[in-house]
Every structure is written in structure tokens, then in C-alpha cells.
Amino acid sequence: MSEIPAAGPEASAGPGGEPIRVLVVDDHALFRRGLQMVLEQEPDIEVVAEASDGAEAVVQASEQTPDIVLMDVRMPRRGGIDACTAIHEAVPSAKIIMLTISDEEADLYDAIKAGAMGYLLKEISIEEVAAAIRAVHGGQSLISPSMASKLLTEFASMIKKTDDRQQVPTPRLTDREMEVLKLVAKGMNNRDIAKVLFISENTVKNHIRNILEKLQLHSRMEAVVYAVREKLLEIT
């Protein structure tokens, strides 16, 4: 998990310098229009389609194959989380960011399980959305800082409710990898982790890649979920 990076086009366009293709999904037309107007000012981002609910979003995603889907959680006909699962199956290359007013722990957890790479509250400035798009397109997982503690609290609660059971031995992480994972769990980005541990950003990226390979996971967010569930991290 990372904090929302500062605005700016550093983190780039899609393959071959093509703009990052974005599908905007929200049941409020004015919000969609406002978001589209702001994103159209970004030279490396192109809004290729929009949808007013989850059912329409699945159709548009299948037809347009966007790089990023910005989607609300609660919408009529078909909600965002259900649509997230369907889009993830239909267009595996699309990365999904939930952009919502819902700060419910259950929605956050269900979105992660459904394959979302980001969960941002609409309290962020609309200009920050472009930076979030670039970050997720570049492989980061993002979560609004105010939701980070709720995520860990949710998993702590799950652990307390789980009966003792036989578990497959967990892959062993090195001490340094555990340090990196704990900082990721606090919502730090690669730059901040590098400063805390006095190592380079590339070294941080290598550690995270090794962590994901050892745990057979795909994103930073999944790594934190796994680590909490398997009690590799302690939550106070």
C-alpha cells in the first residue's frame, strides 16, 4: 500500500508512449464529467469511455480494454465490487481503482478480494486522481491514508475470530524483507521506505518483488493481507 503520490506526469504513459487509457464509472453524471474534464488536461491520460453503473462498466471494459478503471463502490443495477470481479476476469490487464465515499471496512476488504489495486476516498482532490492513475498503472497499490488503519483493524478482528487450524508452513522472509513489509503495511511508498532503511529505491523494489515471489502474490496490498492473516505481522 502506498500514499497518494504528488501530482505530475513523471510516472508515465502506457506501452510505446501511448496515453494511459481510463474508464470512468460513477452513477453521478456531474462527477463523471468533472473528472473527465480534469483528466483531459493530462497529456499522458485519455478517458476512453464512461459508465453509470457496474453492469455498463463490464460492457465498456470488455469493448475498450482500458488500462485503468476508476469506479465507485455503490451504484444501481450492479455495484462496483461485483463489477470489479467481472472486469478482472474479462480484462485481466485492467487495473481497478475504487474511488468512493464509502469508508466502510467491509467495502475496503471486499474490494481488495475482488482484485482492486487501489481504494481512494472522494475526499482527495480531483487533481490527485491523475497521480493515482499513474501510480497504479506503474504497479503500485494505493489506499487512502485514513483507510489504512481500518484495513489492519479488519484483519486483526478476523484473526481473533479464527480458530486454531493446521497451516501450511509459510515461506520464510529475511529480516530485511520483514522490515520492508512492515513499512509497506504502514502505507509508506518506496521512497519513504528507502529513507527509513537507508537503502536505495531500487533495493526496496527488489525486496518487494522478492516478497511477492516468495508469498506467490501479485500486489503490495495482497502481501499485507497475507502477512496479517498468517501472523507474520503483529497489529497493536
Write out pLDDT tens, residues 82-114. 999 999 899 999 999 998 888 887 788 888 888
Q: Are 65 and 127 members of one domain?
A: yes
9 confidence band (pLDDT: 50, 70, 90): very low
pLDDT digits (tens, 9 = 90+) for 153-190: 655 565 555 544 445 556 788 999 999 988 887 778 88
What predicted TM-score, i.e. pTM, was given to this entire model? 0.65
- Residue 95 has phi, psi (to 5 degrees) of -105, 135
Cross-strand partners of 50: 24
- Do the beta carbons of residue 152 and residue 228 sit within 8 Å? yes
- CA dist., res. 200 & res. 195, Å (int): 8
Q: Are 44 and 144 members of one domain?
A: yes
Domain annotation covers residue 96: yes
Domain annotation covers residue 31: yes
Predicted pLDDT of residue 163: 45
Q: Are 81 and 175 members of one domain?
A: no
Range of the domain at 188: 165-229
Predicted pLDDT of residue 160: 56
Q: Indicate the SS3 state at residue 99.
A: strand
CA distances from 182 to 105, 146, 159, 225 (A): 20, 18, 17, 12
Q: Are 28 and 87 members of one domain?
A: yes
Q: Are 19 and 133 members of one domain?
A: yes
Q: Is the pLDDT of residue 2 over 80?
A: no
Structural domains in the chain (count): 2
pLDDT digits (tens, 9 = 90+) for 116-131: 888 888 888 877 899 9
- CA dist., res. 102 & res. 22, Å (int): 22
Handedness of CA 129, 191, 218, 163 (dihedral sign): negative
Q: Are 16 and 116 members of one domain?
A: yes
- CATH code, domain carrying 169: 1.10.10.10
- CA dist., res. 77 & res. 18, Å (int): 33
- CA dist., res. 36 & res. 39, Å (int): 5
- Do the beta carbons of residue 153 and residue 225 sit within 8 Å? no
- Averaged confidence pLDDT in the chain: 82
